[in-house]
A and B are shown apart, each in its own frame.
Chain A
């Protein structure tokens, strides 16, 4: 299946610093990528939809100035957690929509996730 990579896989930072997470689709072009946050033993919570060349669409309750999303190319989206605080510690997962998946039908592939710990 298609591969989506995330970098870094884990990061520890001090409170107040900003952290950038990259999401790349390695063998397909993704006009749409998604960013999720997952708390322990819970399902994935959609934070925002990242559209190549346009502004991201944020879910209700997600601060767009706190979680900056840039979808600069068809294979790269970045999530920047600005002025991170301990409550931002979580598992962040991106996904990319492959518009021409099996049989020419759209399929969604996930990255391996980034674990963020803010001290």
Chain B
């Protein structure tokens, strides 16, 4: 079974600075997807960024980028120019590429990101 570990229960960053959230995972599969989701107080999970394991190039979405290290099974999220609206719980998630992802997402426990004004 796959596992996802987020070792930072809480992180704090000054507005406009850069912060990196860590995520490691364990799997025996070679083909999979990795995600970062954001959950603000509204509780709705919002997809921040996605990475296909077969792609060596790190995904980027505006101020959000990842550092994907497949051999190390590491998938960190970097948020540049942090904004107050970035404050939320961030979840790292894994999805197998086999069986059309029918096994669902495996989530980490989350990192609570605080933005200091």
| A in complex with B | no
**B residues adjacent to A (C-beta < 8 A):** none
Residues of A within 8 A of B (CB): none
